[in-house]
Amino acid sequence: MYATAFHSHSPACHNGLGISLSRSRGLILTKPYNRSCDKLRNIADIQNGDSKQTFKADTQTPDTDMQTPLLFSPEKLGSIELSNRIVMAPMTRCRAIGNIPNELMAEYYGQRAAAGLIVTEGTSPSPNGLGYARIPGIFSEAQVEGWKKVTKAVHGKKGRIFIQLMHSGRISHILNLPAGARVVAPSAVKPAGQMWTDAQKMQDFPVPEAMTREDLSHTKEEYVTAAKNAMTAGFDGVELHGANGYLLEQFLSPFSNIRNDEYGGTIENRCRFVLEVAAAVAAAIGKDRTAIRLSPYGVASDMPHYPEIDATYQYLAGELNGLGIVYIHLVDHSAMGAPPVPVTIKKEIRARFKNAIIQCGGYDYKRAETDLESGLCDLVAFGRPFINNPDLVDRLKHHRTLSQDLKMDLFYSADKTGYTDYPVFEDQPAETVR
């Protein structure tokens, strides 16, 4: 879920590169590369004229088609083969009536299966995490059965799909939760702002219940069960939502986490719950199938900046690297009006984490290719362009105009309008092509 106001949410509105020289110097990436700091160093060496690289001379034929842009070249994510490096970013769409995935959602994801990887909308591992109206869960049998329709639709088109596990934590309202569920968070700190409830429209966020030790271990178990359920439902992996102000990020920030036990206070303590959840999920389904999304310097859902942001994410990236999870997905929402994320922290995370890095936020074809070439990331996620361009991959590949007809007022509505009814390029009325 994402809100442009960063506080309130309304469903109603709202490279080793066996290379090489950079493209500008005439040679293009050829082989799969070692990631992270090696990659950045290699690229720096290359740019400084270091000749240790194994790339072929200008006169030789490169190992792969020199014309293939990186964006459209295959990539391996752990043991999973991706047909290209375009990721469909996770986007809450509120079509899961009764919190159960359905045929309409299967159609929507199936339409977008040409992405190298789809990450689903935020999906709750727990009744307590269903903070928004009509978001899906993956803790009941009916939900697992519903998700099977989605994974079948995507795999039927040779796509790959991870489920994003999103526990809303304090970004929630009792009116949106099923009977018996609770609004819980690391500490009883109320977020500023309001959220949408189907029953009583906009409502102030409540003061959440501070999680007890029992809540912590129960919630961790819920993540593990949800991850196992995801495997049963046919997902290729699980992305833990550690971004945008939801439960996991609520533990990271000293504003939302004022605990005085070993889960609060120091950087190590604030990162503990996130790392325990990631380790438990990886132990249950495999580190190759476990990933996380992070938003350093993000302000969504009332997450103010704090002095140790860099130190927190440096530590976290190093520890996640130790766990060997398959990717870190970084969010930069400056294209949506949020404060810019310093490139230094993106590079520091890249340097500390050896598996794949996904970057997301305001990308177009050119910037995506530039960041892939520079080694800042291995994959690029596109969010909004996938909403109104179901054939985004084809459009980018064939340099076709993207539709600008994005119906924001239908982001979180309940039916197919503004969801599965966006035309592909060939069917698009000429006046909407700009």
Site string (280-309) toward ligand FMN, x via CB under 6 A: -------------x----------------
Instruction: Give me the least distance between CB of 295 and ligand FMN, in Å please.
Output: 8
**Binds ligand FMN by CB under 6 A, chosen from 77, 277, 331, 356:** 331
Is residue 422 close enough to count as binding ligand FMN by CB under 6 A? no
Instruction: Give me the least distance between CB of 384 and ligand FMN, in Å please.
Output: 3
* Those residues with Cβ within 8 angstroms of residue 4's Cβ, 6 or more apart along the chain or in another chain: 14, 336, 337
Instruction: Give me the least distance between CB of 265 and ligand FMN, in Å please.
Output: 27
Q: Which is nearer to ligand FMN, 20 or 197 (CB)?
A: 197
Q: How far is residue 235's CA from residue 151's CA, in Å, rounded to a whole number? A: 6
Q: What are phi and psi of 121, to 5 degrees?
A: -55, 155
Characterize the bridge pairing of strands 161-165 and 117-123: parallel
Site string (337-376) toward ligand FMN, x via CB under 6 A: -----------------------xxxx-------------
Stretch touching ligand FMN by CB under 6 A, among 99-107, 269-277, 302-310, 331-339? 331-339
Site string (98-127) toward ligand FMN, x via CB under 6 A: -----------------------xx-----
Instruction: Give me the least distance between CB of 331 and ligand FMN, in Å please.
Output: 5
Q: Which is nearer to ligand FMN, 280 or 335 (CB)?
A: 335
Is residue 89 close enough to count as binding ligand FMN by CB under 6 A? yes
Q: How far is residue 250's CA from residue 189's CA, in Å, rounded to a whole number? A: 10
DSSP sequence for 136-159: -BSSSHHHHHHHHHHHHHHHHTT-
Q: Quick one: tokens of 253? A: 């920030």
**Binds ligand FMN by CB under 6 A, chosen from 109, 205, 365, 411:** 411
Q: Which is nearer to ligand FMN, 231 or 335 (CB)?
A: 335
Among 211, 64, 198, residue whose Cα is nearest residue 134: 198
- Residue where the block lists tokens 């459209």: 72
Is residue 2 close enough to count as binding ligand FMN by CB under 6 A? yes
Give how many residues touch ligand FMN by CB under 6 A.
26
Instruction: Give me the least distance between CB of 23 and ligand FMN, in Å please.
Output: 23
132 is catalytic: no
Instruction: Give me the least distance between CB of 395 and ligand FMN, in Å please.
Output: 14
Instruction: Give me the least distance between CB of 93 and ligand FMN, in Å please.
Output: 7
- Burial environment of residue 87 by CB neighbours within 10 A (0 to 12, 13 to 18, 19 or more): buried
Q: What are phi and psi of 27, to 5 degrees?
A: -115, 155
Total residues belonging to the chain: 434
Give how far Cα 293 sits from Cα of 46, 128, 197, 298, 345, Å. 30, 20, 26, 12, 15
Is residue 244 close enough to count as binding ligand FMN by CB under 6 A? yes
> How many Å from the N-terminal Cα to the C-terminal Cα in the chain?
28
Q: Which is nearer to ligand FMN, 384 or 397 (CB)?
A: 384
Q: Residue 141 in 3-state DSSP?
A: helix
**Binds ligand FMN by CB under 6 A, chosen from 10, 20, 36, 164:** 164
Range list of H helices, 74-212: 103-111, 141-156
Q: Residue 162 in 3-state DSSP?
A: strand
Instruction: Give me the least distance between CB of 235 and ligand FMN, in Å please.
Output: 16
Q: Which helix (H) or strand (E) holds 139?
A: none
Q: Which is nearer to ligand FMN, 144 or 243 (CB)?
A: 243
Range list of H helices, 194-333: 213-232, 247-252, 267-285, 309-323
**Binds ligand FMN by CB under 6 A, chosen from 37, 280, 323, 335:** 335
- Residue where the block lists tokens 């459009």: 395
Q: How far is residue 203's CA from residue 173's CA, in Å, rounded to a whole number? A: 8
Q: Which of 33, 108, 223, 246 is catalytic?
A: 246
Among 245, 238, 243, residue whose Cα is nearest residue 208: 245
Is residue 245 close enough to count as binding ligand FMN by CB under 6 A? no
Catalytic machinery residues: 246
Q: List residues near ligand FMN by CB under 6 A.
A: 1-2, 89-92, 121-122, 164, 166, 241, 243-244, 293, 331, 333, 335, 360-363, 382-385, 411
